[in-house]
Amino acid sequence: MSYDGVVGLGAELDGAVLRLTLDRADARNAVSDTMLHALIDHLVAAGQDEAVRVVAITTSGPHFCAGADFLARNTGSDQRPRVGSIQRRLPSMAHRLLPTLASTQIPIVAVVRGWASGLGFHIALGADFCVTADDARFWEPFMQRGFTPDSGAAWLLPRVVGMVRARQLLLLGRELSGTEAAEWGLVHEAVPDAELDARAEALVQQLAEGPTVALGLTKWLLHAGGGIDFERHLQNEALALELSSRSEDFREGLSAFREKRDPRYEGR
């Protein structure tokens, strides 16, 4: 498939890695509507492209993402939008991005330095793995701006850190360092900034060389399991086992076990 960037979003297929780069350093990589649509489209395409085995979301400049670009959306016209315009727009934009991160059956890694605010925080939270600089800043800006959370924050955060800590983040606007985010279980790992790129790349390559079918199905089981009863989960588990056991990577894994060597997965 073709991965062409748009203004503010770079897209490059680097071997088995789709690298998506938020590229608006002058605006702290605030996400415009065009960038948001392109990000969703690339994730959907990656989930259908057998050449892609992992997605890495990185950024240019010193900051990860300052959130959605509300200033750009609300300037240039003195005419107030019609009542309900936000409610109509969100299902195809921010409210589509987080489910797409969850449902894309390949691993997604976010690499965070500097500020990750609002939507930027939620992209990091919605990725399967987030490797962050220990001095990064995670922040929910909504109460300071006088409006309510978007992109699933009030659903995601209590499930990850519990209701008490979710209230601290959303109602009190508590900022977290990268180190604190790791201690709270919000991110995979926090490391010194000088080590961030190398540590994140090692994880990306580990995933790119893994059993892609089994990784994707396990990701599906993890996300689907939270909303169904145990019996339905076991049915899903049986389906995942049936599919993964028919993969070429499963046969390679068995061969490697018998031959006492590391497996060489091809992602098929």
Average pLDDT score over residue span 203-209: 97
Segment 40-50, tens digit of pLDDT: 999 999 999 99
Compute CA distances 64 → 33, 36, 93, whole Å.
17, 15, 19
Segment 162-181, tens digit of pLDDT: 999 999 999 999 999 999 99
Q: What is the mean pLDDT of the chain?
A: 92
Asked if 40 contacts 75 with a C-beta cutoff of 8 angstroms, the reply is no
Cα–Cα dist 65/15, whole Å: 26
Paired tokens of 249: 């990577």
Confidence of residue 69 (pLDDT cuts 50, 70, 90): confident
